[in-house]
Amino acid sequence: MHELAIATEIAGAVCAKAAGRPVRRVTVRVGALTAVVPEAMRFCFTLAVEGTVADGADLEIEHRPGAGHCGSCGNDVILPDLILLCPCGSADVTVTSGRELQIVSMEVD
């Protein structure tokens, strides 16, 4: 359940930045290739912000698909999972998107 640790990090960063102002909404970016389950993170976020200035804030999740670049054929490939295999048969694939795990912004009153 690493989502709780992640949600706690988000809550801590957001509350520090809010400096006492109530937080209405927090936007995070989560790549498809991270080991983060959005539903679990949403649940944990609700717990992590309880009793803070972000209590009750909405968590908006921007999803980023997995994508890579093949060093053999030069094509960009869609990566539905962490199996780094290009349709051309090469495993020389560099991940270009999908590993994001970022706090984007927040809305405060």
Which residues participate in the annotated binding site?
2, 70, 73, 86, 88
Q: How far apart are CA 53 and CA 23, in angstroms?
A: 6
Bridge-based pairing state of the strands 93-97 and 67-70: antiparallel
Question: Is 88 near another protein (CB under 8 A)?
Answer: no
Say how far residue 10 (Cα) sits from the centre of its chain: 10
- The footprint of another protein on residues 36-55 (CB under 8 A) is 36
Question: Is 2 near another protein (CB under 8 A)?
Answer: yes
H/E stretch holding 34: none
Specify the amino acid at residue 51: G
Question: Is 10 near another protein (CB under 8 A)?
Answer: yes
Question: Is 78 near another protein (CB under 8 A)?
Answer: no
Using CB under 8 A, which of 73, 82, 87, 88 touches another protein?
A: 82
- Classify residue 35 as exposed, middle or buried by CB count within 10 Å of its CB (0-12, 13-18, 19+): exposed
Binding site for another protein (CB under 8 A): 1-2, 5-6, 9-10, 12-14, 17-18, 24-25, 28, 34-36, 81-85, 91-92, 101-109
